[in-house]
Structure 1
């Protein structure tokens, strides 16, 4: 496996990283909870990331191949406009066509589940999800999350479903009103463990994963921190961007899966650094597919990222040996390696 290449996002951000870290987690201090009000929580990049000068919108636009005169958000990422306009029609390739729902007693979230409770009584593990940019829009990763749910999972995303956000990208990145927080994932866990999700089927609250993409991955770290109800953590295109906060990884107790988009992904180098510093003996998988930071989430049925996520969940939560072989045996049918992923792992039996 080739070593990580330097990435401009990190180099440009170094001075601000140290400034922001003064108001965030301090080295050697293990907070009681993961949500300290920062973007991404204690594993995140500090408060008001874009307003603080961590990295300017024109620079982040460049990392996403955007011009300085950026279009409305619905045009920033291919298909995101259609995603945000998406209705709740069932879909996905799994045996249980899934859709999104809302619940009056969980108003800050969007729930993805089979359109009808599985008639076979299949146990449904839970995934709590943090969106990229920590955006509080629960249907922003619609194809990806719907695909996972169609395989018999209950997915609860941060934020209510919204219509398309017609906002200049710079204005969007500077807007606090649409930011989510790790505490929302904790709220989702509280809600589901209190038995509130019974109408969706046989909910398996013994198997809860905290997951997220980019800033949402930092939320996943922060919501799994000191919460023993979370038994699996999954980060997509994400990691700890402030080196002096990486010591917090030592407090993680759940196995971790990293899925990134190759050397051009701003989550590539940091996920490798995190992987190397996880607690001794903690099972972990690191996988990379050359898709860049935006992955395949908005492709048909979430693309290869969704396929990998489902296989990972089936392996860990259902002890599915075929799913496990896709990771551990490059020669197996449908292996990640055969799909052009680069995979490494440790502490795996």
Structure 2
């Protein structure tokens, strides 16, 4: 039994934290990684916010992370702490919505982000030309943004998908689970998270053989997104990205092995086929 009405209210009303068409320079430096990062906008993807190392690292290709906001809110800086953190570890992170934007998003905007990154990697004159690893792409989203992530999860360009404080609202949507084809991770806020029952129901219905990780941290639906660098969610999400998109086996050990790195911590862990 899913928590349909209560969770729907959270999708529409709750968040997790806290222009013009011309391009803007990167914001102030941030993140704990080796590449201090900020965000910018671009006329070629006007309804999004792009997080990147402020100085693109020489000889390093940036894997891509596309992000859907909680409440499907078109504010690309609503999750600034955690997105800046991931960008500082050498990822190109593209969030739905402009900085401090308003209105609503949809899953098509995640696909637009992937299209843009691939185009920029080959476009003459682009500062990103040859700097993006277009073979390593993650789709992620919090709450309503997680539903958006499910909706594009069968995109053949994706390497992994991640849901934060999210799960399907109705059993009528279960066909989306059958379309999953890449490793998936869930980072949920424990039993007090309004999305908990939905996420656990999805977990039980995942396709046989699909590599999957479920981590519950008792922080509720608002997670740790408002903490510096995204708090514990930022740290663990960074490890998942470094493992899945960069092949970092030390990061992978957080999720694999007996015990895994997270298994003896405050996280409640479940695993399938990892």
Report the TM-score when normalising by structure 1: 0.70
Q: CA deviation at 1:339?
A: 3.8
Q: CA deviation at 1:331?
A: 5.3
d(CA) in 2 for partners of 1:12 and 1:341?
A: 27
- CA distance 1:244–1:101, shift in 2 (3 Å): same
Q: Deviations over 1:49-87 (max 9, x none)?
A: xxxxx64x8xx87xx7xxxxxxxxxxx877x2xxxxxx9
Q: 1:151 aligns with which of 89, 97, 113?
A: 89
- 2:35 aligned with 1:96: yes
d(CA) in 2 for partners of 1:331 and 1:239?
A: 27
1:203 corresponds to: 132
Contact kept? 2:150, 2:176, Cα under 8 Å:
no
What's the RMSD between the two structures over aligned residues? 2.5
d(CA) in 2 for partners of 1:178 and 1:223?
A: 21
- 2:152 aligned with 1:213: no
d(CA) in 2 for partners of 1:268 and 1:305?
A: 16
2:183 corresponds to: 255
Q: CA deviation at 1:328?
A: 2.0
Q: Deviations over 1:83-103 (max 9, x none)?
A: xxxx91011000000000111
Note the 1:60-139 alignment, pairs <5 A. Answer: 80=18, 88-119=27-58, 121-139=59-77
Q: 2:197 aligns with which of 258, 269, 281?
A: 269
Q: CA deviation at 1:248?
A: 2.3
Larger radius of gyration between Structure 1 and Structure 2:
1
- CA distance 1:114–1:12, shift in 2 (3 Å): closer
Q: CA deviation at 1:193?
A: 1.2
d(CA) in 1 for partners of 2:272 and 2:46?
A: 39
d(CA) in 2 for partners of 1:314 and 1:111?
A: 19
SS of the aligned residue for 1:328 comes to coil
d(CA) in 2 for partners of 1:279 and 1:131?
A: 26
Q: CA deviation at 1:184?
A: 0.5
- CA distance 1:11–1:313, shift in 2 (3 Å): closer
Matched residues, number: 263
d(CA) in 2 for partners of 1:105 and 1:202?
A: 17
d(CA) in 1 for partners of 2:180 and 2:264?
A: 31
d(CA) in 2 for partners of 1:137 and 1:186?
A: 17
Q: CA deviation at 1:319?
A: 1.6
SS of the aligned residue for 1:310 comes to helix
Q: CA deviation at 1:337?
A: 3.2
Contact kept? 1:158, 1:180, Cα under 8 Å:
yes
Report the TM-score when normalising by structure 2: 0.88
Contact kept? 1:113, 1:152, Cα under 8 Å:
yes
Q: Deviations over 1:258-294 (max 9, x none)?
A: 0000001012111111112111111111111000000
Q: 2:207 aligns with which of 273, 276, 279?
A: 279
Q: 1:179 aligns with which of 86, 99, 104?
A: 104
Q: 1:194 aligns with which of 109, 115, 119?
A: 119
Contact kept? 2:16, 2:225, Cα under 8 Å:
no
Q: 1:294 aligns with which of 211, 219, 222?
A: 222
Q: Any unmatched runs of 5+ in structure 1?
A: 1-5, 14-44, 46-53, 65-75, 81-86, 164-176
Q: Any unmatched runs of 5+ in structure 2?
A: 19-25
SS of the aligned residue for 2:270 comes to strand
SS of the aligned residue for 1:194 comes to helix
Q: Deviations over 1:170-217 (max 9, x none)?
A: xxxxxxx61101000111111111135852472101011110000001
Contact kept? 2:4, 2:170, Cα under 8 Å:
no
